[in-house]
Chains A and B, each alone.
Chain A
Amino acid sequence: AQSVAQPEDQVNVAEGNPLTVKCTYSVSGNPYLFWYVQYPNRGLQFLLKYITGDNLVKGSYGFEAEFNKSQTSFHLKKPSALVSDSALYFCAVRDGNTGNQFYFGTGTSLTVIP
């Protein structure tokens, strides 16, 4: 079965510090991995994805994520957090071999403290 876990409901970080939002996944086939960000009362915005190739993926707004097959993780990172990064972040996975469906984590609320 496919699933995604985001172990932290809430992450707080000081402005200018590096941030990490964790995600682990479980798929039976090839994992296609995604990160989305959601601002209040808005839809989800695509940040980045891993399909194949380089394990370090760079995305929008300075975010990046590293695919780690042995740890089945796809943590989202940014070297220097901005207050405007405060939002809800969702990790998602799709089995690249089968099906349409994306499976979403429960979301992590990131607060960047000025």
Chain B
Amino acid sequence: GAVVSQHPSRVICKSGTSVKIECRSLDFQATTMFWYRQFPKQSLMLMATSNEGSKATYEQGVEKDKFLINHASLTLSTLTVTSAHPEDSSFYICSAREQQGGRTDTQYFGPGTRLTVL
């Protein structure tokens, strides 16, 4: 299957700093990428849909000024957590949509980034 990478896999930062997480589709082009947040023992919560060359679409309740998303190319989307606070500590997972007609429409997920804000 297709491969999606995420970097870093784990980051610890101080409260008030900003953290950037990269999501790359390694062997396919993704016009659409998604950012999820997962709390312990819970399902994925969609934060935003990242569209190449245009503004991201944020889900209700997600602060777009706090979680900055940039999808500058067909293989890279970044999520920047600005002015991080301890409550932002979570597991962040990206996914990229491989779309070659309806039959191969599948989301492939990155390995996740564990963010800890002290």
Residues of chain A at the chain B interface (Cβ within 8 Å):
32, 34, 36, 41-46, 49, 51-52, 90, 92, 94, 96, 100-102, 104-107, 109
Contacts and interface: CB of A to CB of B under 8 A. Distances in A.
Contacts of A101: 46, 49
A43 B49 contact: no
Contacts of A46: 1, 106-109
Interface string B55-70: 0000000000000000
B105 A107 contact: no
B45 to A, nearest CB: 9
Nearest to A96: B102
B42 A34 contact: no
Overall SS of chain B's interface: strand
B11 interface: no
Interface residues of B, number: 26
A107 B45 CA distance: 12
A73 B110 CA distance: 27
A38 to B, nearest CB: 9
A100 B1 CA distance: 20
A100 B49 contact: yes
B93 A44 contact: yes
Given A51-B102, A100-B32, A101-B49, A41 B109 contact: no
A34 B104 CA distance: 12
Contact of B114 (A32, A41, A49, A94): A41
Contact of B103 (A36, A44, A52, A104): A52
A44 B49 contact: no
A41 B112 contact: yes
**Top 8 A-B residue pairs of the complex, sorted by shortest distance between their CB atoms:** A44-B109, A43-B109, A43-B111, A43-B112, A106-B43, A104-B43, A43-B110, A104-B44
Interface in B78-112: 91, 93, 95, 97, 102-103, 105-112
A31 B5 CA distance: 28
Given A34-B106, A43-B6, A51-B102, A90 B44 contact: yes
Contacts of A52: 102-103
